[in-house]
Structure 1
C-alpha cells in the first residue's frame, strides 16, 4: 500500500491545500499534542504549522496508550476539509505506524513537555531544543538567510571561496586565539634555549584556529575580482556576554577596484536585501516569533514588534557620518549621562552606538573614517595620517553588525602599519607580496552571521540562534 502512495511534507500539504483535497497521502512527523484520543497535531519540521490528524475510532486502547507528545509516527490518510476554525484541512487517518515512542520515565525531565521553558533551560538540552517551536522557527530562518546570502552573491557576480580554518597569523592583529597542536602536552619538546620546539609539531610552527578568512580572500579578489567566504571563525576571549561566541560564522566579501563608498553601498543593499527576503519567504516563522518574542524576552512591554523592527531597516537610507562627526554629536548631548566618557580616539561603546541609532538619527548608521589607533593594520590610511578608511554599520539593539574598510593597497604604507602594530612581518610575507604584484584599490567587510540571525529573529542572546553554542566553559553536545 505504501509504495503506491506519495509522501508529502506538511508544508507542501498546507501550501497547496486545494490540490490535495480528497487525496490519499502519506505524512511522517512528531506528535506535538494529542487530544481526546482522537486529534493529533503533527509536525515534521518543514513549517511552524501543524497538521491535524483525525484518528480512526477502531484503534485499540493499548495502541492509543503508546501515542504521546514526541512520539514519531507515519500516517496514511485522506485530506479533507476541516470543520474546525484553526485549520482549513485535516488528515483522516487510514493507517498509523509508530516509529519511536517516548521514554515516559524521563519525559518529565525533558523540555518536550507541553509548557514554556526558559531559554536557559533550552540551552541545557540543546540536543532536544530543535523540537521546540521557537528553536525550529529560528533554525528555518537561519537556513533561509544562509541560502539567500549565497544567492545574492551569485547574482552579483561574486565567487565563493573557502579559506583556511587553521592559520599561522591573526588578521585582526589582537585578541586571543585557540592554538592547534598534535604535541603530547605531557611531554612537550623544548629547544636548547628552553622554548617550546614547534618544529616537532604537525605543521612545524605555531598554528591557530582562524579569526577571519579576510587576508586569504583578499588574495583571491586580486585575481577573480569579487569573492566571498562563508565559514566558521574562532576567538578565545573570555567574554560571557549575550553578543559573543567563541565559535561563530562569518561572511566576508572582498572586491577588487572597490573604494570605501562602493563598499558601503554594497553592505547597505546586502543587509536590506536579506531582510526583505526573510520577510517575503519566512512570514509564518516571523509571525510566530512576532507573537511570542516578548514572553521569551521577559515581557519587555515598551518594545516594538519584531516585524516593526525589521521594517524599520527600510524606512530611510542608512545615515552616514564620519567618526569625528559622531564624537561631536555625542559630546554635544548634555542631557544624556553616558557611563563611558566620549573622547576622540575611543572605541565607541554600545551606549554611544545605540544613542546614535535609536535616538539621534532613528535609523541604521554607517560610521566611517575611524582613528587608525583603534583599527586593524590592513585598513587604508587617509591623507590626514590619523584616520583610516574604515566603516561600521550599526543596527538598533544589536550594535555593530558589519565592520569593513578599504584595504591598504600601497606596499610601503602597509609595511609601516605592520611594523607600527608590532606584527611579525615574516608571517605576512605572502600578504605583502600581493602589493608587489599588480596591487589595486580594493575593499571588503565582515558580517557576523549569528549576530544577523539574532537581529532578524529578535532573540536577546546569541546563544539561542546557533545550534550548539561554544562559549567560555561550554563545549558540550
Structure 2
C-alpha cells in the first residue's frame, strides 16, 4: 500500500469535524486566519511547523489561491502536480479569481489496475477524516478516508515530520479531519486491508447519487426532455385526498402560533373562506408531477420529471415516507406495451449502472447489509420480465399453499406480501409485470379497457420490495375521462386544463411513476426506507 512522508494539520472540533491548517512547508511557512460562522469556532493558531521530512519534497510555488487551486513544480514538469492549500487571500486591487479545479480524491489515486503505483513519485495532497491512527515508536500509520470510496489511504508519518507534534499531543484521533502532503511511494510492507464499516448514510448517499445520475443519463440518451413540475398544486393526481395543505390563513411564524382559531377567515356558513388565502383557493403540496408531465408531453413527445413529492399518509412503516422524490416519464404516441418496455429498459439500465460503477459499495452491501443482493440485482438485469394479468395473479394467489395475512379475492388491492410471493416464490426471483387492474382500485386518469371493469395499468414487481413501478396508458377520450371523474366525485372545474388536453385533441400516451427512495432501498438492500434519504419526513418526525 502507498505511504506518505507527510505534513499533518488539525484544528478545533465542531460538529464532529475538524478544520485543517495548511502545511507550512508547502506554503513557505505562510500563516493565515479564517473567519467562521457562529457554529464553527476559530481554528487553533499554530506557529509554523518544525522539523523536516526524510524525503525531500519537490519545491513548489502556488499558482492559484484556494482549496482546489493547482500548483506546479519548480522544475516545470507537467506530470508532477499537487494542489496548493488554502492561504490568506489577497484583497489588493487587481487580484484575480483562480480557476476552479476538481480535487484529487483517494478513489482517483487508487483507481486502475495498478491501484496507484503509476502515481509513485507524485507530490499529492490528501484531505479526509482519520479512520485509525496507530502510533509506534518512530513512525505512525494514519488511515485516511475522504468519502470517495470505502477503502482508506495509509499515510506513514515519521516522528520528525512537520506537524508530528499534533500526533504526540493526541489531537489526531478517529474522526479528526487532516490534510496530509507528501510524496507517493511504493509500500515497503505487505498490502493491508482495513475493515471499515461506514455509516449507512455515507454509503447509501453514494449509491443514491449514482442512481440519480443514471436516471438522467438514461432518459437523456433516449431523447427525453427533463421538465420541472410545480410543487404547489390545486389538484390531486391520485384522487386519494392524502395531501398537505398550503395556506397562509394559519399562523406562519413562531410569534403567531398562539393566534386564536377565530382569526381564520370564514364564510357565513362557518366554512373556511379560501378566497382570502394566498392563491385564492385551496392548494396543496403535490403528490405527483404526472398531470403536468402530460401537458409537456403534448408538445415535446417524451418527457420526464424527477422531483420531490409529498403524501400525508399516516403510515409508520419501513416502506413509506411523507416526503420523497419521484421519477415520472410520459410518452406521447404510446400504449401500455410501450410503457412496459420503457419501464423495463430503464430499471435494467440503472441497476446495471450501479453494478458496474459502484462495485466497492455493492460488495459492502452484499457483505454487511443483505447477502446475495448482487445476485438479486443481476437477476433483474439479466432475466426476462414475466407478464401476467391481475386476474391471473389473483388465481395464482388463491392456489398458493400459503396463508396470507390479507385475504385475496378479485377486486382487492394486492398487498406487499402478495406481490413478494408472486415475484420471489411463484417466479423464483424474476421481475414480474402485472397488468389490467380493476378500475375501482386505480386512479381516474387510467385508460378503461373494453371490458368496462379493468384499466390499462401495470405494476412492476421485484423481489424483497414488491411493487417498484406503477404506470398506465392514460385516458385520452374526453367523455370517458369526465364520466370517471364524476364517478369519483372529482371537481372537473379544478381539472379544466387537464380536460382541455383532450377537448382540443389528444394522442394515445402513457407513463409510469417510480419512488426514487424505494429504488435506492431495493438497490442497497436497506430494510428501512428512512435510511436511504438524508432527512426523512415521517408522521410525527420532521427533524433537521
TM-score (norm 1): 0.87
Query: 2:497 corresponds to which residue?
Result: 430
Q: Distance in 1 between matches of 2:179 and 2:168?
A: 14
Counting only pairs closer than 5 Å after superposition, residues 272-421 of structure 1 correspond to structure 2 as 272-294=348-370, 304-333=371-400, 335-362=401-428, 363-421=430-488
Query: 1:12 corresponds to which residue?
Result: 108
Q: Distance in 1 between matches of 2:539 and 2:520?
A: 21
Q: Distance in 2 between matches of 1:400 and 1:62?
A: 53
Query: 1:446 corresponds to which residue?
Result: 513
Q: Secondary structure at the match of 1:15?
A: coil
Q: Secondary structure at the match of 1:135?
A: helix
Query: 1:160 corresponds to which residue?
Result: 226
Q: Secondary structure at the match of 2:339?
A: helix
Q: Distance in 2 between matches of 1:326 and 1:184?
A: 47
Change over 3 Å in CA distance of 1:84–1:313 after alignment to 2 = farther
Following TM superposition, by how much is the alpha carbon of 1:63 offset from its aligned partner in structure 2, in angstroms?
Answer: 5.1
Query: 2:145 corresponds to which residue?
Result: 43
2:330 equivalent to 1:225: no
Following TM superposition, by how much is the alpha carbon of 1:64 offset from its aligned partner in structure 2, in angstroms?
Answer: 4.1
Change over 3 Å in CA distance of 1:23–1:403 after alignment to 2 = same
Query: 2:126 corresponds to which residue?
Result: 27
- The answer to whether the 8 Å contact 1:368/1:390 transfers is yes
Change over 3 Å in CA distance of 1:385–1:21 after alignment to 2 = same
Following TM superposition, by how much is the alpha carbon of 1:78 offset from its aligned partner in structure 2, in angstroms?
Answer: 1.0
Q: Which digits, 9 at most, give the CA deviation of each residue in 1:316-342, with x for residues without a partner?
A: 211000001111111122x21222211
Query: 1:102 corresponds to which residue?
Result: none
- The answer to whether the 8 Å contact 1:175/1:237 transfers is no
Following TM superposition, by how much is the alpha carbon of 1:163 offset from its aligned partner in structure 2, in angstroms?
Answer: 0.3
| Structure with max Cα Rg | 2
Q: Distance in 1 between matches of 2:495 and 2:202?
A: 43
- The answer to whether the 8 Å contact 1:48/1:133 transfers is no
Query: 1:189 corresponds to which residue?
Result: 265
Q: Distance in 2 between matches of 1:14 and 1:389?
A: 50
Query: 2:281 corresponds to which residue?
Result: 205
Q: Distance in 2 between matches of 1:86 and 1:210?
A: 53
Query: 1:259 corresponds to which residue?
Result: 335
**After the TM superposition, which parts of structure 1 deviate over 3 Å for at least 4 consecutive aligned residues?**
61-64, 83-88
Query: 1:73 corresponds to which residue?
Result: 178
Following TM superposition, by how much is the alpha carbon of 1:349 offset from its aligned partner in structure 2, in angstroms?
Answer: 1.2
Stretch of structure 1 that moved more, 368-377 or 305-314: 305-314
Following TM superposition, by how much is the alpha carbon of 1:11 offset from its aligned partner in structure 2, in angstroms?
Answer: 1.1
Change over 3 Å in CA distance of 1:54–1:133 after alignment to 2 = farther
Q: Distance in 2 between matches of 1:382 and 1:392?
A: 16
Q: Distance in 2 between matches of 1:290 and 1:396?
A: 15
Aligned-residue CA RMSD (Å): 1.8
TM-score (norm 2): 0.76
Change over 3 Å in CA distance of 1:18–1:432 after alignment to 2 = same
Q: Distance in 1 between matches of 2:369 and 2:405?
A: 29
In terms of fraction of residues, the more helix-rich structure is: 1
Q: Distance in 1 between matches of 2:496 and 2:129?
A: 56
Q: Distance in 2 between matches of 1:214 and 1:40?
A: 51
> Number of residues paired by the alignment?
428
Q: Distance in 2 between matches of 1:85 and 1:136?
A: 29
Change over 3 Å in CA distance of 1:62–1:259 after alignment to 2 = closer
- The answer to whether the 8 Å contact 2:117/2:186 transfers is no
- The answer to whether the 8 Å contact 2:472/2:510 transfers is yes
Stretch of structure 1 that moved more, 52-61 or 214-223: 52-61
